Structure 1
Amino acid sequence: MDSPRRHHRYYDLILTAFVVVLLCSNFIGAGKAAVIDLPYFGTIPFGAGILFFPIAYFFGDILTEVYGYAYDRRAVWAGFAALAFAAFMAQIVIALPVAPGGYMANYQHGLETVFGNSWRIALASMFSFWCGSLVNSYVLAKMKIWTKGRFLWMRTIGSTVVGELVDSSFFYILAFYGIWPTHELIQVALAQYVLKTSWEILATPMTYWVINFLKRKENEDYYDIHTNFTPFRVKV
């Protein structure tokens, strides 16, 4: 029988922030391919969702390290539910009859351009992030046991390298194959993977600070020794 878990002061705030970031990454940034000019590398395309998406993995590392795998799993399912609802409502809004007038006609065209593919982006994100995030959390939880709580930087970076590989391998193919040119799709996916992983490395000092703060305030430092790692549950 699973042992009861106590209430935490900051978990709900982190879960809410996680859901907001997940929605922003999919509905604001995911559909745009931007470019950046780098010395020696030239012009590199990348998905604008990079501005948001690594923060979701940042929260995932924090949730797993402090509260345990089950709390991160619940946050992932909450994010998926919010994303599914937002995608469904986007299609409803697009399908509503348009009021007469040039302004509304242009506005409808803009909605269809920005949100018309939202169902596909949402499904791709739900699958790829579900896989990637839970793999990230699983690897971090297991590494915490193997390292006996030492080398936090190795756990956060190592789990992100694996989780982001799974995530990036699925998302862009499922969301944009047949819409973007194949060569651009591959370039963006590779650039996204490198940028996301690099972001995790650069964010390591902040990760340390937040995790140490929460462990101290929550009086919690959970080890997933007897955890049921099935992804198909929300119970903690």
Structure 2
Amino acid sequence: MSSQATSPKPDVRFASRGSSYYDVILALFCVVLVVSNIAATKGIEFNVGSWSIGSVQILPIITDGGAFLFPLAYILGDVISEVYGFKAARRAVFTGFTMALLAAGTFWVVVQAPAASFYENQAAFEAVAGPVGQIVAASVIGYVVGQLVNSYVLVRMKQRSAERGLWTRLIGSSGLGEAADTLLFCAIAAGAIGITDMGQFWNYFVVGFIYKVGVEVIVSPLTMTVIALIKRRESTY
């Protein structure tokens, strides 16, 4: 028998998905995804000057309407991953995007349906709801990849450090996940909001990535507080 001592494994715990808290978080997660996909059909430009480096347009700042709410999806994903584990986070991601696909399919049917003779807003409705399918496709591909990267990295980091280092897990995993998510989303969705050249595209990508990570950092104390509150109320903890 070897005399070499083995270090104890870290105490890694996850709560059950049967908790009522998981249901509430999942419902909020789905709403955030559906609303963000609709809002993202509007391109937004903050005209704070004009500045370019080579072909890359730095200013004005270009983003879309989904930027106002979408970062909350990553925060909720962090809460689910930290408290309930990777399988629960994966279920939340696929459930959320099933709802997003249902919304996109509904909009497509409504756009194709013949307008009533008294309805005067068909063109406006098509302009807003028409690109939702492309936005959802971008969102599904980008966010499924990004959120699964985020959840996997967070859970792997937790398996190494157990309950220690929460802030490092939240920011490190989200940074990697959001980089993958933002690049894929922007590559697919850019045309839907009217981006036509690479300078605008890189502006769209860089602004989106910095903004999402910035929001994550700013609200991380609140995220950690929510995680601590839920952990205290779950029997596993």
* TM score, norm. by length of structure 1: 0.85
Aligned to 1:212: 228
Paired with 1:158 and 1:30, the residues of 2 have a C-alpha distance of 29
1:176, distance to aligned residue in structure 2 (A): 2.2
Please say if 1:181 is aligned against 2:196: yes
1:113, distance to aligned residue in structure 2 (A): 0.6
Aligned to 1:96: 113
Q: Does structure 1 retain, via aligned residues, the 8 Å contact 2:171–2:217?
A: yes
Please, which moves more after superposition, 23-32 or 199-208? 23-32
Q: Does structure 1 retain, via aligned residues, the 8 Å contact 2:40–2:135?
A: no
Aligned to 1:111: 125
1:71, distance to aligned residue in structure 2 (A): 0.8
Q: Does structure 2 retain, via aligned residues, the 8 Å contact 1:131–1:167?
A: yes
Alignment of 1:116-131 (within 5 A): 116-131=130-145
Q: 1:77 aligns with which of 83, 94, 97?
A: 94
Q: Structure 1 residues 139 and 9, CA, compared in 2 at 3 Å: closer, same or farther?
A: same
1:163, distance to aligned residue in structure 2 (A): 0.3
How many residues align? The count is: 214
Q: Output the amino acid matched with 2:115.
A: V
Q: Structure 1 residues 36 and 201, CA, compared in 2 at 3 Å: closer, same or farther?
A: farther
Q: Unpaired segments of 5 or more residues in structure 1?
A: 222-236
Please say if 1:24 is aligned against 2:41: no
Paired with 2:150 and 2:172, the residues of 1 have a C-alpha distance of 9
Q: Output the amino acid matched with 1:57.
A: Y
Q: Output the amino acid matched with 1:199.
A: V
Paired with 1:33 and 1:194, the residues of 2 have a C-alpha distance of 16
Aligned to 2:164: 150
1:203, distance to aligned residue in structure 2 (A): 0.7
| Runs of 4+ displaced beyond 4 Å | none
Please say if 1:162 is aligned against 2:176: yes
Paired with 2:155 and 2:41, the residues of 1 have a C-alpha distance of 28
Aligned to 2:3: none
Q: Output the amino acid matched with 1:185.
A: F
Please say if 1:48 is aligned against 2:65: yes
Describe the SS at the equivalent of 1:100.
coil
Q: Structure 1 residues 130 and 42, CA, compared in 2 at 3 Å: closer, same or farther?
A: closer
Q: Unpaired segments of 5 or more residues in structure 2?
A: 1-14, 52-57
Paired with 2:62 and 2:127, the residues of 1 have a C-alpha distance of 20
Q: Does structure 2 retain, via aligned residues, the 8 Å contact 1:177–1:185?
A: no
Identity of matched residues, % = 34
Paired with 1:65 and 1:85, the residues of 2 have a C-alpha distance of 28
1:30, distance to aligned residue in structure 2 (A): 4.5
* TM score, norm. by length of structure 2: 0.84
